Amino acid sequence: MLHKKSTWIIGAVIALIILGGGYYFYSSATAVAKTETETNEIQTSTVRQGDLTVSATGAGTIIPASEIALSFSTGGTLTGLNVQVGEKVLAGDVLAQLDDTNAQQDLANAELQLAQMIMQTDGSATTTGISFNEIAVEQAGLNLAQAQADLDDLLAWEPDADEIAQAEANLQAAQASYNAARGQEAATYTNVTVSNINLEQAERDLVDAQAVYDTAFDPGREWEFGVPRMADALENEREAATNSLQRAQDDLAIAQANYSSSVSSSNSSNSISAQSNILSAELALKAAQSGPTDEEISTAETAVHLAELAYQQALLNQEAAMLDLQQVQLNLEAAQEAVAAMTLTSPMDGIILTIDANVGETVSTTPIITLADLNQPIIEVYLDETDLDKVGLGYEVDVTFDALPDETFTGTVIQVDPQLQTVSNVTAVRALVELEYNKPQPLPVGLNANIDVIGGRVTNAMLVPVEALREISPGQYAVFVMNGDEPELTFVEVGLMDYTFAEIVSGVEVGDIVTTGIIETQ
């Protein structure tokens, strides 16, 4: 309660001071006005009704509502240019293309690699319903299971009577086969000896028959054909010698064939093979009787360990293949982006302002096309810094163009920069104005404009010259209203005001006469 009471007392004191100051100013001003009236002629003006506009004048130019400098994300040879300066385009339209031969090849390779990796990892993508990785893992698992089963059989070995009996029978059969082979080889050896004797005899018989033949056909005996009795005898002798030689040659051929046959059938491979079978049967019998050796068990354990490693390796390969699949997918996305980068598309609706490349040229990543939105004209305005109080967001604007002198357009301030700009060594306020414009032909960028920013506008308001105002305190005004020949101080509420007139909201009436100054007289 004490705090509130103190606050009330302080407020009351301040109010008394203000009222006292106002009364002092009123008394002083009245006294001065009366004194001046007695010695000088008072200048007056009549409160009238009219329109008042407070504005700031500036200059501006048309700029795009939005402007984008378009470029490829990579360099290359420009193979297509689908637009011209001034042409309207829509968002998504293809503006230009680069040579994409290499990019398309890279994309095809990336697609092929992805297909291969899918076959490697995804069985649902194959005609067989199983992938290479799944086959490798399953095969490794089967090998491990078989190796473990073999080791388990060795570790769980026990003598098997049936197996031992079968091994003994196999050994006996092998021994019998060996004995038979040896007997056959002995008989064959006899046949070879007899065939050799017959061959040697046939060779001697051929030598004898050849000698008889040579004697019968001796050229020195040709004279015997001149003697009738001797001619018949020589003829018979030669015929007999020829027949004997032929028989001897045939007998030799037969003897050679029989000898070759005997030699070929005397091969000892049968007995060697039979002996090998005996050794195998003996080892099998020994194994059936004694079981696996430590070396065999160790070998089987090593086989299981290797099979386990192979199985783990197959699983790791499967995981690595999934990582490879992700990498290939990333490569494919990169290849697709590289192909897309060969095409320059419009990101928005707009008009082509500039084109800085020609088909066939090699371009880099610098902009080659400038695209602007000119559907909504925007004016960039510069005002003197002293007019800062006359411009704000939402303020109305009157716009004229030197190129269109017969028309006045309106607009709205949509931006006022928070930082002053220096233009031609002059500090200025920069603002953006949205122009109301609905004509089909867009205004060209850079078109000069004359701007009047309307800080305030009233119509049919009570107006007095600013010289009539007397500022009692900051924001509080009064005027001297003539009552007959005497000026009376009247408090008024002031509205809009420029350098010439002020709007009076209340305190006077239209037609009242107010003082505006003193005309000195001699």
96 vs 236, which has greater pLDDT? 96
Q: Does the pLDDT at position 40 exceed 70?
A: no
Q: What pLDDT was estimated at residue 126?
A: 83
Give the DSSP H/E element, type plus range, for residue 245.
helix 228-264
Q: What pLDDT was estimated at residue 466?
A: 93
Give the DSSP H/E element, type plus range, for residue 502.
strand 501-506
Tens of pLDDT, residues 380-414: 999 999 888 888 888 899 999 999 988 999 999 99
pLDDT tier at 446, thresholds 50, 70, 90: very high
Q: What pLDDT was estimated at residue 140?
A: 94
β-sheet bridge partners, residue 354 = 370
Q: What pLDDT was estimated at residue 268?
A: 54
> What predicted TM-score, i.e. pTM, was given to this entire model?
0.50
253 vs 185, which has greater pLDDT? 253
Average pLDDT on 105-118 reads 94
Q: What pLDDT was estimated at residue 481?
A: 95
Per the prediction, the chain carries an average pLDDT of 85
Q: Does the pLDDT at position 100 exceed 90?
A: yes
Domain boundaries defined on the chain: 1-39, 42-64+374-522, 111-157+292-330, 161-290
Rg (CA), the chain: 64
Smallest Cα–Cα separation from 464: which of 519, 421, 520, 506? 506
Q: List Cβ neighbours of 198 (8 Å cut-off, separation of 6 or more).
A: 255, 258, 259
> HSE on the CB side for 315, CA within 13 Å?
6
Say which CATH topology domain 161-290 has. Answer: Helix Hairpins (1.10.287)
Least confident range from 22-26, 47-51, 503-507: namely 22-26
Place of tokens 């490829």: 72
Smallest Cα–Cα separation from 446: which of 391, 515, 379, 494? 379
Least confident range from 56-65, 79-88, 162-171, 319-328: namely 162-171
pLDDT tier at 21, thresholds 50, 70, 90: very low
What single string gives the DSSP state of each residue in 415-430?
A: EE-SS-EEETTEEEEE
Least confident range from 22-26, 141-145, 245-249, 322-326: namely 22-26
Least confident range from 4-13, 173-182, 462-471: namely 4-13
DSSP letter at 409 equals E
| Both tokens assigned to 446 | 């850079």
One-letter identity of residue 452:
D
CA-angle at 197, arms to 195 and 203, nearest 5° = 100
Least confident range from 40-44, 147-151, 330-334, 515-519: namely 515-519
Q: How far apart are CA 98 and CA 420, in angstroms?
A: 44
Q: How far apart are CA 348 and CA 344, in angstroms?
A: 12
Tens of pLDDT, residues 264-295: 665 556 667 877 888 888 777 777 777 788 89
Smallest Cα–Cα separation from 175: which of 85, 259, 299, 276? 276
Q: What pLDDT was estimated at residue 12?
A: 34
One-letter identity of residue 470:
R
Q: Does the pLDDT at position 15 exceed 70?
A: no
Least confident range from 24-38, 109-123, 151-165: namely 24-38
Rounded percentage of the chain residues whose pLDDT exceeds 90: 49
What single string gives the DSSP state of each residue in 89-146?
A: E-TT-EEEEE--HHHHHHHHHHHHHHHHHHHHH-GGGSTTS--HHHHHHHHHHHHHHH
Instruction: Evaluate whether the domain defined by 42-64+374-522 bears CATH number 2.60.40.10.
Output: no
Q: List Cβ neighbours of 54 (8 Å cut-off, separation of 6 or more).
A: 390, 454, 455, 456, 457, 496, 497, 498
